[in-house]
Structure 1
Amino acid sequence: MIVAHDAVGRLLKLLEKQKGREVAAGDWLRIDQQRIDRFAEVTGDIQWIHVDPERATTESPYGTTIAHGFLTLSLIPLLTRSNHPDFFQRNYPGMRYRVNCGLDRVRFLTPVRCGDRIRARMLLHSAEQVADAVKIVYQVTVEVEGSDRPACVCEQIFRVYP
């Protein structure tokens, strides 16, 4: 248990230096109709504004289909590359695994139109010891290329364990 405590302490010191700083920024990803359709099929959310390009062209205020908000949210690990082994090793030295605890303060601020490119930025909001783990909260912003407003902002919560 001493080893685990030491690993937690070392990680907390490292994270303290990173508070408020960007820890991940992903590449741009184009959201196409195929991705939107696949998400609709998996989730059962087949509302026309997502899956009917012809109708969306004439009836939608966006002039095209839009991605599901939850599709945008589900892409955060890909957009931040936070599930990549290098991310884990670089950001959580001495730790063995990470558990996704959920999200807080999720907001969808602007739609992602079919054909838009999005990327995500992740800032370290806070880190604290909770039992034998470190609870980490990231502020995530999903940007839409060419837009002043983000598509999504949220707090993502993890626990990492030695």
Structure 2
Amino acid sequence: MSIITIGSFEDFEKYVGQELGVSDYHRITQEQINQFATATLDHQWIHTDPARAKSEGTFGDTIAHGYLTLSLVPYLWDQIIHVNNLKMMVNYGIESLRFAQAVLVNNEVRLNANLKSLANLRGTIKAEVNVKLEIKDQKKPAFTGVLVFLYHFNS
């Protein structure tokens, strides 16, 4: 895996309509799920009670919170692209987010990113990135969506 390095609008522009890359796989552990439950106050048993999830749940085990999988994006995104020469980067929005499949404990996930569009808004660069969180050995992704970032480059 090679990380793309971007330092300007012109660097970014070359990748419009192309795959930016794919991150490494990350295993989601029960400990990580429990920590996320504590941080978000979401202790629903399907996430935090392995015995009950196995006996009563639809999935046969605990599952990661959908928002836990989404919160991994910055970590996985940093494995795909480095944007240098920045004053500031803003997470501007998420469009068309769909959770397609549950991520079971100990599943491995990775981010696949494609640059959908790029616009120069008077010096602020708006990047729309199609993302898919793939689950190892599964056909359906955990989620798909369009992430919108604003990049403010130094002159």
Q: TM-score band, normalised by the shorter chain?
A: 0.7 to 0.9
- Structure 2 counterparts to residues 141-160 of structure 1, below 5 A: 141-160=132-151
> Which has the larger displacement, 97-106 or 57-66?
97-106
- State which of 58, 61, 68 in structure 2 corresponds to 1:61: 58
> What CA distance in whole angstroms lies between the structure 2 residues aligned with 1:131 and 1:29?
37
What is the CA distance between 1:47 and its match in structure 2? Answer: 0.5
Counterpart check, 1:88 vs 2:79: no
- Count of matched residue positions in the alignment of Structure 1 and Structure 2: 147
Counterpart check, 1:98 vs 2:89: yes
CA contact (8 A) 1:51 1:65 kept: yes
- Where 2:132 maps in the other structure, the secondary structure is strand
CA contact (8 A) 1:24 1:81 kept: no
Gaps spanning 5+ residues in structure 2: where?
1-6
Gaps spanning 5+ residues in structure 1: where?
1-9
What is the CA distance between 1:127 and its match in structure 2? Answer: 0.4
Q: Indicate the residue corresponding to 2:23 in structure 1.
A: 26
Q: Which consecutive segments of 4 or more residues in structure 1 shift more than 2 A?
A: 10-17, 94-97
Identity of aligned residues (%): 34
> What CA distance in whole angstroms lies between the structure 1 residues aligned with 2:9 and 2:111?
24
Question: Whose strand proportion is higher, 1 or 2?
Answer: 2
TM-score, normalised by the number of residues in structure 2: 0.88
Question: Whose helix proportion is higher, 1 or 2?
Answer: 1
TM-score, normalised by the number of residues in structure 1: 0.84
Structure with higher Rg: it is 1
What root-mean-square deviation, in Å, do the aligned CA atoms of Structure 1 and Structure 2 show? 1.8
